[in-house]
Amino acid sequence: MICPRCDSEKVNLLTKSPVGGAWEVYICETCCFSWRSTEDDDIKDPNKYDKRFKIDKDKISELDQIPPIPALLEEKN
Amino acid sequence: MAYKDLREFLALLEKENQLVRIKEEVMPEPDLSAIGKSAPSIESAPAVFVEKIKGYKNSVALNVHGSWQNHALMLGLPKNTSIKEQFFALDEKWSKYPIKPVWVNKEQAPVKEVKITTDINLFDVLPLFRVNKYDGGFYISKALIVSKDPDDPDNLDKQNAGTYRIQVKGKDLVGIQPLPFHDIAIHLKKAEEKNQPLPIAICIGNDPVLNFMSSTPVEYAQSEYDFAGALKGEPIELTKSEQGNLDVPARSEIILEGYIIPRERKIEGPFGEFPGSYSGARLQPEVRIHTITHRTNPIFENLYLGMPWTEIDYLLALNTSLPLYRQLKRDFPEVVAVNAMYTHGMGVIVSTKSRFGGYGKAVAMRLLSTPHGMPYSKIVIIVDEFVDPFNLEQVMWALTTRVRVDKDVVTIPFAPGMPLDPSSEPAGMHTKLIIDATTPVAPDKARDTELLDVPKKTEFWLNYLKNIARSEVN
Ligand SMILES: [Zn+2]
C-alpha cells in the first residue's frame, strides 16, 4: 500500500473497527496521514488525492517547529 | 445550576427541545461532520446525539454549544435570552471568581468507572472521525487539556486547563498543538529545558462550562476551574489523575492520561481551523497515552468547525468578549459593552460614551494593546453608548451616519497579528483598522443633528407585544 498524501511505502494498519469488521484505519509512518478504508477514493488513492494537500516527504524535516525546542539547562551540581 | 456534567446538560437540552437523537446507524465519514455542519443551520440549532456509528461501540454528541439557545441554557438562563442579556449575565457571574473546586475520591468519581492501562487502543473508546476533508487524520477537537507548571507543581493557579487540537497518530499516540503564546507551551518549555516528559490529561465530554472556560483567554496565574465554579455558582468536582498528580474533572466522560515526549517534533496537520481555512502541516510534539479512564458507556463529544458560523463561533463568542470588556472597563469606565464574537475577536465592536473628542480612537488603541486584542483584533469599530454592539443593524446605522471617512478611519500598518488569520502576511503580522463611529463631542465638532425620540410608553407596548407573541407560541 502507498500513502495517498506523500506516496511513501511505509504504511501500517493502525486498527480494525472495534465492532464487526466494518473497516480498517491505515497510517503512514512518514507523514502521519491516516485514513479509513470506507472513505472516498479522493482520500485513499494517491493519484486522486488533491494536489494542493500532497506532502513532499523529502521536505518534512524543513517544516516549522511549533513550539521551538529550547536549549537544555546546564545540570546543577 | 440545573446540571452537573455533560450527561445532565444533554438531558436538560432534550427537555427544552434543544437536542435531537439520531437512532439510525451512521458512517463515521462523511456523516458525522455533515451532521455537525448542519445542526447550527436549522432554526433551533440543537445539539445532536448520534447513538450508533458503524464499527464503533460508543455514541457521539455534536453541537452542544452551537446556538444562542444552548448557550443561554449553559449559563442557567431561559433559552430565549438575548445575546446582550447573556453578555451582562455572564459579567455578573464572572464577578464571583474565584469559586474553588472540591476534590472527590477516585471511588466517587464517575470518570474512574472503567480504567484501561494495557493494550490501549483509542479507537476502542472514541468513535473518531475526520472533521474536515483534508485534515491530516482524525482529530479530538474539543478536549480540555490539563498540565502543571513543572517548577511549581503544587500551585493550583498555575495548573492550566486549555483546549488544544489533538491529532490521533497511533493506538496510544497523539499529536498536540501548543502555540507559543498558550499557557501549556510555558509548561512544556520548562520540562524540555530539563529533558523531562510533561504529564498531561486530555479530558473529553466535560461539563459545558469547562469547555467554555478552557477556550477563554484568562491570565497565566488564574485557574480555569475557579472561573468555571464562578459561572456555575458552585464548585467544580475534581479528582486526581492516576499518574502525574493532575487535578481532573471527576465527572468527565473520558480522560486520556499521558505525557508529552520531550525534545521531539513530528509532522502534524493540516487541520481546518476557526477562521474557515486549513492551517498547514508543522512539526509539533507528540503525547504517549498510558492510561484511559472513562464512565460506563462514555459519550464522545467532539467539535465540528467549518465555514463560520459553526459551533466554535458560539463557543468563542462571549468568552472572548468578556475579558476584553473587563480590561477596557478598568481604565475606560464609559465603555458599555464589547462584542468580540467575530472570528475569535479578529473583529470587535465596542460601545462607549465619549468623554472628549477622539475618545473612541483611544478606546480602540487600548483594545489593541490588551493581551488578546494585540495579536487577534484586526478590525475595531467603536459606536456610541446607545448603540447595541450585538445588533448589527444598529452598528451599520452608526457606520453609515456617523463615520467621517477622512477623520474617523485609521490604519496601523504592520502590527502584531494572528498566524491563523489567512490575511496576515507574513503570518503573524497584519494591519489594524479602527473605525470610530461615535458622535463627535467637544473639542471635536460635528454638524448639528438631533436624534429622533423614542415614543413615550414604548417599553410598555414592547413588553405587551412580547407577551402576546409568547402565549401564541405556547
Ligand atoms: Zn504519507
- The residue-averaged pLDDT of A22-33 equals 98
CATH number at residue B427: 3.40.1670.10
Q: For residue range B166-200, list pLDDT tens digits in order.
A: 999 999 999 999 987 788 999 999 999 999 999 99
B411 and B433: one domain? Answer: yes
Cα distance between residue B293 and residue B141, in whole Å = 19
B83 and B58: one domain? Answer: yes
B271 and B330: one domain? Answer: no
Neighbours of B23 (CB within 10 A): 9
Q: What is the pTM of this model?
A: 0.94
- The residue-averaged pLDDT of B79-104 equals 96
Q: For residue range A55-74, list pLDDT tens digits in order.
A: 999 999 999 999 999 999 97
Residue B9: name the closest of B44, B39, B34, B46 by CA. Answer: B46
Is B94 strand, coil or helix?
A: helix
A31: nearest CA in chain B? B267
Helices assigned H by DSSP within B95-202: 122-125, 183-193
- The residue-averaged pLDDT of A37-53 equals 97
- Chosen for mutation from A32, A54, A55 (greatest number of chain B CBs closer than 10 Å) is A32
Domain that holds residue B248: 6-313
Of A5, A18, A52, the CB nearest to B57: A18
The per-residue DSSP string of chain A comes to: ---TTT--S-EEEEEE-TTTT--EEEEETTT--EEETTS-HHHH-TTTS-GGG---GGGGGGSPBSSPPPPPPPPP-
Provide the CB-side half-sphere exposure for A76 (13 A, CA).
Answer: 2
**Catalytic entry in B192, B273, B286, B301:** B273
B361 and B220: one domain? Answer: no
**pLDDT above 90 covers what percent of chain B?**
87
- The residue-averaged pLDDT of B401-408 equals 96
A22: nearest CA in chain B? B55
Number of domains in chain B: 2
Q: What is the model's pLDDT at position A77?
A: 47
Tell me chain B's radius of gyration from C-alpha atoms.
23
B262 and B355: one domain? Answer: no
| A76 in contact with chain B, both atoms CB, cutoff 8 A | no
Task: Please identify, among B273, B289, B313, the residue that sits at the C-terminal boundary of a domain.
Answer: B313
**Apex B154 CA angle, B152 and B159, nearest 5:** 75
Q: What is the mean pLDDT of chain B?
A: 95
- The residue-averaged pLDDT of B20-30 equals 98
B198 and B234: one domain? Answer: yes
Contacts of B192 in chain A (CB under 8 A): 69-70
| A32 in contact with chain B, both atoms CB, cutoff 8 A | yes
B186 and B61: one domain? Answer: yes
- The residue-averaged pLDDT of B446-469 equals 90
CB–CB of A33 and B268 under 8 A? no
Ligand 1: centre distance to CA B272 (Å): 19
Determine, yes or no, domain membership for B444.
Answer: no
C-alpha distances (whole Å) from B199 to each of B215, B264, B287, B358 are 20, 15, 9, 50
B252 neighbors B225 (Cβ within 8 angstroms) = no
Q: For residue range B42-91, list pLDDT tens digits in order.
A: 999 999 999 999 999 999 999 999 999 999 999 999 999 999 999 999 99
CB–CB of A66 and B180 under 8 A? yes
C-alpha distances (whole Å) from B370 to each of A31, A48, B285, B351, B414 are 38, 46, 29, 17, 17
In the annotation, is B273 catalytic? yes
Contacts of A17 in chain B (CB under 8 A): 54-56, 123
B330 and B415: one domain? Answer: yes
Give how far A9 is from chain B: nearest CA, Å.
17
Ligand 1: centre distance to CA B175 (Å): 15
Q: Is the model's pLDDT at B473 over the cut of 70?
A: no
Give how far B29 is from chain A: nearest CA, Å.
7
Of A22, A50, A60, the CB nearest to B267: A60
Cα distance between residue B234 and residue B119, in whole Å = 38
Is this complex scored with an ipTM above 0.90? yes
Q: Is the model's pLDDT at B138 over the cut of 60?
A: yes
B40 and B166: one domain? Answer: yes
Determine, yes or no, domain membership for B278.
Answer: yes
Q: Which residues does B157 contact at the CB level (< 8 Å), separation at least 6?
A: B221, B222, B223, B226
Determine, yes or no, domain membership for B277.
Answer: yes
CATH number at residue B173: 2.30.110.10
Ligand 1: centre distance to CA A59 (Å): 12
Task: Please identify, among B313, B331, B361, the residue that sits at the C-terminal boundary of a domain.
Answer: B313
Of A15, A53, A64, the CB nearest to B283: A64
B282 and B342: one domain? Answer: no
C-alpha distances (whole Å) from B208 to each of B10, B103, B148, B473 are 10, 19, 22, 28
- Chosen for mutation from B129, B192, B261 (greatest number of chain A CBs closer than 10 Å) is B192
B325 and B289: one domain? Answer: no
C-alpha cell at B211: 469547555
* Element at B359 (helix H, strand E): helix B359-367
Q: What is the model's pLDDT at position A75?
A: 63
Residue B339: name the closest of B154, B92, B83, B108 by CA. Answer: B83
Q: What is the model's pLDDT at position B286?
A: 98
- Chosen for mutation from B26, B29, B260 (greatest number of chain A CBs closer than 10 Å) is B29
Ligand 1: centre distance to CA B178 (Å): 23
B327 and B308: one domain? Answer: no
Task: Please identify, among B279, B313, B347, the residue that sits at the C-terminal boundary of a domain.
Answer: B313
Phi, psi angle pair for B334, to nearest 5°: -70, -15
Edge-first strand listing for the sheet containing B409-416: B335-342, B347-352, B379-384, B429-437, B409-416
